[in-house]
Amino acid sequence: MSETATLKILRGLDKADSHWETHAVPFEHGQSVLDGLRWIRANKDPSLAVRFSCINANACKECMMEVDGETVYACTARLEPREMTLTPLSNKKLVRDLVTEIAPPAERFVAPGGPLTENGKR
């Protein structure tokens, strides 16, 4: 019998109105949490929002999230054959699911007409 990792993921557009989803992921030693999330997107739910641009290089820092309450890079955190709890960064503004606003304000895209306030208004 092959081992599985269980990823319990907090999903939603708003931290106050989020919900938990649990996914069983095939486990192989050496896999990262990001590998498990990519497997979910490819095989179970392509709507899962997770940000990354490098694989196992720890260079871009886009895949930061909280795993079991600890801030980690999903590309370097090891997947384990047990239940693992994944949440977006608790100190950042939620975009969707595991994606948070990580760019410094000076580096964020500014829409025509000027920057938006926190509540989305000009």
Task: Report all structural domains of the chain as residue ranges with CATH numbers, in order of start.
Answer: 4-102 (3.10.20.30)
Is 91 a residue whose pLDDT tops 80?
yes
Residue type, 42: A
pLDDT band at 90 (very low <50, low <70, confident <90, very high): very high
The stretches of 14-114 forming alpha helices (DSSP H) are 33-43
* Residues of the chain above pLDDT 70, percent: 79
pLDDT at 38 over 90: yes
CA–CA dist 44, 23 (Å, integer): 8
